[in-house]
Structure 1
């Protein structure tokens, strides 16, 4: 019973308030009643300019007009500003007009505003403000560099604001190898740059371009392939003469850059009196690492490994070093001793005996016949000369005897 009594009193109070408000509001009927132009309006201005949102009342009398945002945040009432935005004002220069003025409009001012005539029931007019703004790419949603591995998929979305709605396109910049000329190639006519299966040649510079009547914005990204180290031996077999330096060169291409090293028999080689390890940079992704074996000897012959490691893998390549050591040849020396014995023989001959000692220490006996008679300084006569002389002498004696007989 008590609850019903309270409810009834509340209803009576509300009714009394409404009757009081109604008595204070302008009449809603008749030729002198205020009438708000409730036709919806759209106002479009360029960013940075001044916007005037219209609100006109016929037969305003003592009527007050208020401005609200779309979510009923009050901005003004009559010509009084109830917001701390210093850009706002109410233009009441013309009778019956309560135009909301916003100077230096920005993109965030875009939206719907409501002009309300304080009548019973209230009359409302909706005004939509659109601010023409140049395209602005949301660069925070993009990365400068996108890393990919061959075979992966990738979608990059270029988020753009601006009014009127900008046209968004993606371009790729490719270099023609033969002429080294850079060309601009359209690859997408939407805000999405899509790669279903990435290949190595998809790497490079891509540009998002957004355009409307107010201007243009652009942003470039770089697609870069990442891969495990790729090793190449400039010469896998190194042949060097003993006591000369042996130089091993290993070419490494990788992205990201690789940690490198040289190894033999499972041990990492470092620069010391025997080895010198050096590294040379050829490009952003390519280096050459060099191992020098100082004064290579026979023990330095064998296998050496060039190693390279990065986040995507580990690779190695084998080198073979051959040290040419000259061979040593032992020669035997043979000494020959000759002993000569001379024996005098009767009449015209002399017999001599020679003893020869060879490499096996055996004695050889040789016998020669020398004729003592005749000139000691002349040439030696051999047996053929003696025979010829004897024959001539016999023929001469025979001829003389034959003449005597005849």
Structure 2
């Protein structure tokens, strides 16, 4: 009969549908079957400490484990903590797990009800709000004075989950821990803090009315680059528009800044108009998207997008901007003079993107290759390249016109250099004609031939003078011997 009454009460109680129906069930068992029945449960299931936080009142169907045989008139206890109404805090409503309404208790001296005579508990200081990086340990501290026989509990506000009651951990969350020191300092420990742990936590004392205070935990997350939403290397034709995109996530929301890897200023937007107006470009640009109108080869290079939000470490992403254009060649000296037996160096400077195929020819014949006569190499930097042709031990057959070529998928170009011979009485060595080839007349070939002819004539005159001197010396010696 008593079990039927117990079952009827359990299923007709409004708190059965509550998340704490488990505790309501235990409370109903005690009301129906008595304390001895509840004591048969393991201590891990229910204990006297847990029962102190749940009060019974048939008007609101919140059972109390220590149900009195006779109601006792409540006595008011002076407290330094002001009672808070439901309007001040929604958690004090009858639907909170811990009711703040006065409860009816028995005369047991271990019961912290209204008939308790002694020092009233109070909080020494407010719970400090804390901020921890994700994955670290978070510790919320509640300091209580004069706790006596009362109990301390921790509850998460957002979902009204009971975490701990006194020195017992109620939640199944394995990351929740508890520590206390001499019933005064109560620490709620959250290991490996995650973003879902962010929010408010309430420290409660089961006085009547209930005492509580709230601390807040903020979990910050370092920035990370969203590679799926971030640009990879970008290729654009010269004079078209280019946009680089970089997105990141974190808490707080990261700030995105752009820099050039080579340290040059960032020309963005209508950079040509700003340049005409004398506006200097900045070294940094802020925003998720960097747009350059009418991009030129000067904008080519590596760009760094850096995400920061005050949480270490900051992260960066490298994006290379490639600007494609047909090759062009610039020849520093188009006329090179060299003497017989010396070496001559010919240079062509090229610019192209994508990288061009570079080669040399002589007198429009086949391409030259490196051998004992010619030494060919190229020095490259970004879209620039320097073509160098070294001609060794010059002979009359080496004089003529050399051409440098550059070709890529967008076009081709060429440059020409003319090598001519000179007489160098001071010894070996090649020299560059200081006169630019563009200002010289079309009779360069005849001038070269005239120079060679005049050199040969001077050499013949010198040999004649030497022969005459030798003859004079021999004549003098012969005359002296005869004398």
Q: TM-score, normalized by length of structure 1?
A: 0.47
Structure holding more strand per residue? 1
Q: Rg: which structure is higher?
A: 1
- The structure where helix makes up a greater share of residues is 2
